[in-house]
Amino acid sequence: MRRTHLSFLTVIVFVVQLCLLPLGLCAAESRRPNILFLLIDDMGWPDVQCYGHEFHETPVIDSLAREGVRFTDFYAATPVCSSTRSTIQSGQYSARTAITDFIPGHWRPFEKLVVPEIEHHLQEGVKTPGDVLKAAGYKTGYFGKWHLGNGAEFAPDKHGYEVTERQLGKDFNAWRGKKPRGPKSIDFLTDAALWFLEQHQAKPFFLTVSHHAVHIPVEGNPATTQKYRDKGKPQTGVNHPIYAAMTEDLDTSIGRILHKLDELEIANDTIVVFASDNGGLRKIYTGVGEVVSTNAPLRDEKGTLYEGGIRVPMIVRWPDVVPAGSTCRAPTTTADLLPTFCEMATAKLPEQPIDGASLVSVLRDPKSALKRTSIYFHYPHYHHSRPAGAIRSGPWKLIEFFDSGEVELYHLDKDISESTNLAAEYPQRAKQMRGELATWRSVSGARMPTINAKYDPKRASEWWSRRTNKPLDIEAMRKRYDSRARGG
């Protein structure tokens, strides 16, 4: 009897193990994907080859596009860094975060309008992708530019990112040695990412590498810079050799990170998202200094609500989910990234207003559309242009300037360069879109500029520093932002 009982127990255990085995395999196969977010500073829509640049060489970024989906109508939700970064970290438009300009912002004390005050850090209680994915079991890291609050109390490690430059420690420093950081700290940030991947490959991770390139001052490695000085230039475009070198140096660094994913055999488990925080810069907003790039065929540049200021590159590689070599033309924005990261990670959305929409549906089917009618922009500040707001509905885009009340209407499918204002030809459409934009501002609590009692047309163009409360030293700024080739 005892032998029979033992045999029966053995059979039961064996059957249970067989039943559990598929569950174990299923669990292994359904491990939540890693997410690598590559955020570039000031990269214009046409700055890489796969978006049409004829001078820059970006083979690694181009390979991401061949292996994933390239977005043609992806927008930074604002035309400058801090405000767009607030939309990435909150899933909200900047009108709601109240970080509507870069921190600390510009000041033109004698212009027609007094621009609204901005928040100088993320509002208390706002949950970031770092917060949400950390709570969902992800290891979270953030290296590079933050620009969402000065001081340790507002740093990324206070917003859910467990590993930042402050947490790298002596082991990383010993591993890296005394190598120079490289132009724009590209080499340092890349090494930090490699270290993070080696240390945290065993569990799902969410890593942001937020580069300081390609922001001015333009810096490039001497060898790469010499390559572009020697290279024949196309007949059109700016084709700045140091800007081109910096772009290729950045591309090379991304290649090192992707190679590490392959080396660790986690590339197939890792979603790679590549994007920029605003449109490309042509030249510094003061109007002096060198011209470093162009966003043609898009109109204008960073700091404006024309396409050159807000339409930016975005590429997503998601093995076995995103159709390789596909293109998505759905109008999408940086406010969509937080809900997208949440759905990718099967994490719950934070309990806060979310203005963005998850892009997972259009990642799976890039020819599909999102279930919304419009996207919105709010930039009530002087920069490369005047305080304004904008709305895009399908192919139509309307810009409203706050100092004069004038509106401009464009059909982007037919006029990507925004060369023909159709507001007079389609007055009813312009009126409807302007009304929708005003309603959105009211609902989102957008801060608006006010009439300036000290308006002086003779001094309206003066730029003043918010830090010193004195006029800017324009010549000193020019020298500060001169481009340079550097080896370290």
Confirm whether 423 is domain-assigned. Answer: no
Task: Determine how β-strand 326-328 pairs with β-strand 74-75.
Answer: unpaired
Structure confidence at residue 42 (pLDDT)? 98
Specify the pLDDT at position 485.
Answer: 63
The average confidence (pLDDT) of the chain is 93
**Number of independent structural domains in the chain:** 1
Q: Determine the pLDDT at residue 30.
A: 65
Per cent of the chain over pLDDT 70 is: 93
For the segment 240-266, the average pLDDT, to the nearest whole number, is 98
Q: What is the pLDDT of residue 137?
A: 97
Q: How confident is the model at residue 486 (pLDDT cuts 50, 70, 90)?
A: low
Which pLDDT score, from 0 to 100, does residue 12 have?
39
Statement: residue 367 has pLDDT above 90: yes
Other CB atoms closer than 10 Å to residue 174's CB: what's the count? 8
Q: How confident is the model over 14-50, as pLDDT tens digits?
A: 333 434 433 333 333 468 999 999 999 999 999 999 9
pLDDT tens readout for residues 115-130: 999 999 999 899 999 9
CATH assignment of the domain containing 154: 3.40.720.10
Report the pLDDT value the prediction gives residue 18, as an integer from 0 to 100. 38
Rounded mean pLDDT, 312-334? 98
Question: Is it the case that residue 9 has pLDDT exceeding 80?
Answer: no
pLDDT tens string 49-79: 999 999 999 999 999 999 999 999 999 999 9
Residue 384 lies in a domain: no
pLDDT bucket at 487, cuts 50 / 70 / 90: very low
User: Omega before 217 cis (within 30°)?
Assistant: yes
Burial letters 78-96, b for 16+ CB under 10 A, else e: bbbbbbbbbbbbbbbbbbb
Is residue 417 assigned to a domain? Answer: no
Output b/e per residue, 15-28; b: 16+ Cβ within 10 A.
Answer: eeeeeeeeeeeeee
pLDDT digits (tens, 9 = 90+) for 183-194: 999 999 999 999
What tens digit of pLDDT does each residue of 382-399 get?
A: 999 999 999 999 999 999
What is the pLDDT, as a whole number, of residue 141? 98
Is residue 323 in some structural domain?
A: yes
317 against 289, higher pLDDT:
317
At 3 the pLDDT is: 41
pLDDT greater at residue 6 or residue 191: 191
Q: Is residue 83 part of a domain?
A: yes
Q: Does residue 386 form part of some domain?
A: no
Sign (positive or negative) of CA dihedral 86, 91, 95, 96: negative
At 384, list the tokens: 């490369």
Using an 8 Å Cβ cutoff, are 300 and 385 in contact? yes
Please give the pLDDT value at position 429.
98
- 439 lies in some domain: no
Cα torsion 137, 347, 81, 245: sign: positive
In a domain, 411, yes or no: no
State the residue range of the domain holding 81: 31-373+458-485
